[in-house]
C-alpha cells in the first residue's frame, strides 16, 4: 500500500507541473486524487476539436508511457482515439473539456487506471520491455560483428530477429523502432549483389557487396534458389534449395532433384528464414514491408537452367488419339513434343509420328523402322473429354509415356493428364495437347 501511495503522489507532482489553465473545471488546473485510482490529465491544441483531441490523447499516452517506463503510444493510440479507453491498460477517459485557443482549440482529457493494475503493469510490462530491448541490443551487436566479418546475410538475419522482437511489444529505448530496424535490414539487402554462372556444367553463385572499393565477397552467405519442378503426376510446382558461400563468396547450387524442369528459370536471392519472416509478416501493419520485399526482388537474379541430356540412341514414337479413340495421323502432338524436348535441352533423340492403335503395335513399328536403338519410348496422348463454359471450352487430355530397352524390358511407365482452354474446340484441343506435350517432355527429362 505504501508503494501505491508513493506512485500516486509522484504522478500528481509530475502531472501538476505540466497542465495549467486559467479557465475551465478545476481538474484542468489541479489533478484530482481518487482513492484506488491513478489519474492522468493531458492537453492538446489543434485547428479544430478533432485535431486537439487527437493531440491530447497522444500526450496522455506519452505521459503514461513515461511513468510506466516503456512506450505505449504506438500500441494503443488508435484504440484510445476510437474508444476513449484502452482495455489492456484498464484505462478509461473520465472527463474532457474543450476551450478556444489561439488559432484553434485546446482540449483537456482526464483518464484513470486502477492503481493495483497499474502497479502490476508497471512491473510486468516493464520487465518484458527491458528484456526485449536487451535482446534487440544483442542482435544489433551481433549484426555489426557479422558485417565486419563480411558475413552479411547473418547480419541481415540478426536485424530481422530484432525486428520481429520490436513488433512483439514495447521497448524501453525510444531510439529503437521497427521502422529503424526495417530500414537497416533493407539497407543490408540492397548492398548484396548476386551473380550466377555455369562453370564446367555446374551452377555457381557468387555473392558480394554492391558497395565498397573492392566489392568484398560475402562469406557464409545464405542463397536460396527457387525453381519449377514436376511432381509425380506431372504437375508443375514450385520448389527451392539453399546454398552457403565459401571464403571466396562462391557456392555450388545443387540440382539433385531429377524432376527439375530443364529450360525453366531459377531465381536466386538472399536466403531468409521463412519461419521468422512469416512471423514478421503476421505482426507488421499492412504495407510495412513493401520496401523490403521490393529490395529482395530487385536483388535477385534469374538463371536459365538447361539440363544437358543426351538422348542419343533413343527413339520416341508419338501417337495422338481423338475423343473417340481414333488414331490421328500427323497430329500437332508430335510437333509440340519435339519442340518442348528441344527447349528442355534433350539432345539427339529421334522423334517420329507413331503408327499403331496399341502400345505393342507402336513398339513393333519402331523396332522395324529404327533398328539398333538402345531405348524405345512411346508417348500416347488422347483427348479424354471436353467441357463447355461461358465464352470458352476446356479439353482434358490423358498421356502415357512408356520406355523400353531394345530387348523390350520395360524401363518405366508414367501416366499424367493436362487441360487446355480455348474459344472453340480446335483451339482448346490444340492448347491441351501442347500442355500435355510439355509435361511429357518434363517427365522424360526426369527419367533419362
286 contacts 242 by C-beta, under 8 angstroms: no
Dihedral (CA of 356, 359, 365, 369) sign:
positive
Q: Where are the alpha helices (DSSP H) in 149-235?
A: 152-166, 178-190
| Residue ranges of domains in the chain | 2-120, 190-304, 309-445
Torsion of CA 53, 58, 62, 63, to 10 degrees: 10
Residues near 260 by beta carbon (within 8 Å), at least 6 away in sequence: 227, 228, 229, 239, 305, 307, 446
Dihedral (CA of 314, 320, 325, 328) sign:
negative
406 contacts 374 by C-beta, under 8 angstroms: yes
Q: C-alpha distances in angstroms, 101 versus 18, 23, 53, 94, 126?
A: 17, 11, 13, 22, 37
CA separation for the pair 351, 369 (Å, rounded): 12
Per DSSP, 26 falls in state: G
Whether the pTM exceeds 0.75: the reply is no
Number of continuous H segments (helices) and E segments (strands) in the chain: 11, 19
The CATH classification of domain 190-304, taken from the options 2.60.40, 2.40.160, 3.60.40, 3.30.40? 2.60.40
pLDDT by residue for the chain (448 residues), tens only, comes to 333 333 443 444 334 334 444 467 888 888 888 899 999 999 999 999 999 999 999 999 988 887 776 678 877 888 999 999 999 889 999 999 999 888 889 999 999 999 988 888 777 777 788 889 999 999 999 999 999 999 999 999 999 999 999 999 888 888 899 999 999 999 999 999 999 988 776 889 999 998 877 789 999 999 998 887 755 555 667 788 889 999 889 998 876 555 565 567 889 999 999 999 999 999 998 999 999 999 999 989 998 876 655 555 788 888 888 877 777 776 778 788 878 777 766 665 777 777 777 788 888 888 777 777 888 888 888 888 889 888 899 999 888 888 888 887 877 788 888 899 999 988 998 898 888 888 887 777 666 5
Please give the CATH topology (third level) of the domain spanning 309-445: Rossmann fold (3.40.50)
Amino acid at each position: 500500500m505504501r508503494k501505491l501511495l508513493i506512485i500516486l503522489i509522484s504522478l500528481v507532482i509530475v502531472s501538476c507541473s505540466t497542465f495549467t489553465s486559467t479557465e475551465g473545471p478545476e481538474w484542468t488546473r489541479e489533478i484530482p486524487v481518487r482513492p484506488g485510482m491513478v489519474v492522468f490529465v493531458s492537453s492538446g491544441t489543434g485547428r479544430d476539436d478533432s485535431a486537439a483531441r487527437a493531440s491530447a490523447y497522444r500526450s496522455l499516452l506519452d505521459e503514461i508511457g513515461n511513468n510506466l517506463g516503456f512506450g505505449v503510444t504506438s500500441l494503443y493510440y488508435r484504440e484510445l482515439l476510437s474508444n476513449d479507453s484502452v482495455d489492456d491498460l484498464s484505462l478509461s477517459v473520465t472527463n474532457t473539456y474543450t476551450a478556444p485557443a489561439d488559432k484553434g482549440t485546446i482540449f483537456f482529457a482526464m483518464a484513470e487506471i486502477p492503481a493495483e493494475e497499474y502497479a502490476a503493469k508497471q512491473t510486468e510490462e516493464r520487465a518484458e520491455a527491458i528484456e526485449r530491448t536487451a535482446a534487440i541490443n544483442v542482435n544489433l551487436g551481433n549484426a555489426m560483428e557479422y558485417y565486419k566479418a563480411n558475413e552479411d546475410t547473418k547480419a541481415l538475419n540478426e536485424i530481422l530477429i530484432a525486428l520481429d522482437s520490436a513488433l512483439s511489444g514495447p521497448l524501453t529505448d525510444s531510439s529503437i523502432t521497427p521502422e529503424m530496424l526495417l530500414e537497416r535490414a533493407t539497407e543490408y539487402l540492397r548492398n548484396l549483389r548476386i551473380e550466377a554462372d555455369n562453370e564446367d556444367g555446374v551452377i555457381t553463385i557468387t555473392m558480394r557487396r554492391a558497395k565498397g572499393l573492392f566489392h568484398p565477397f560475402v562469406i557464409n552467405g545464405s542463397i536460396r534458389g527457387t525453381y519449377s519442378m514436376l511432381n509425380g503426376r506431372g504437375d508443375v510446382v514450385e520448389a527451392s534449395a539453399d546454398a552457403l558461400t565459401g571464403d571466396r563468396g562462391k557456392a555450388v547450387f545443387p540440382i539433385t532433384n531429377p524432376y527439375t524442369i530443364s529450360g525453366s528459370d531459377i531465381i536466386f536471392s538472399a536466403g531468409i528464414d521463412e519461419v521468422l519472416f512469416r512471423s514478421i509478416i503476421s505482426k507488421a501493419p499492412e504495407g510495412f514491408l513493401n520496401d523490403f520485399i521490393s529490395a529482395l526482388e530487385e536483388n535477385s537474379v534469374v538463371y536459365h537452367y538447361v539440363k544437358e541430356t543426351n538422348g542419343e540412341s533413343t527413339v520416341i514414337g508419338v501417337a495422338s488419339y481423338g475423343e473417340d479413340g481414333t488414331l490421328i495421323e500427323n497430329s500437332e502432338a508430335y510437333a509440340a513434343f519435339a519442340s518442348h524436348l528441344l527447349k528442355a535441352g534433350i539432345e539427339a533423340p529421334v522423334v517420329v509420328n507413331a503408327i499403331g492403335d496399341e502400345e505393342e503395335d507402336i513398339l513393333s513399328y519402331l523396332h522395324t523402322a529404327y533398328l539398333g536403338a538402345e531405348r524405345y519410348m512411346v508417348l500416347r496422348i488422347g483427348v479424354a473429354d471436353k467441357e463447355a463454359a461461358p465464352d470458352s471450352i476446356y479439353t482434358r487430355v490423358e498421356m502415357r509415356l512408356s520406355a523400353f530397352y531394345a530387348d523390350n524390358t520395360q524401363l518405366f511407365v508414367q501416366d499424367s493428364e493436362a487441360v487446355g482452354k480455348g474459344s472453340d474446340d480446335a483451339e482448346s484441343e490444340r492448347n491441351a495437347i501442347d500442355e500435355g506435350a510439355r509435361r511429357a517432355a518434363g517427365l522424360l527429362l526426369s527419367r533419362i
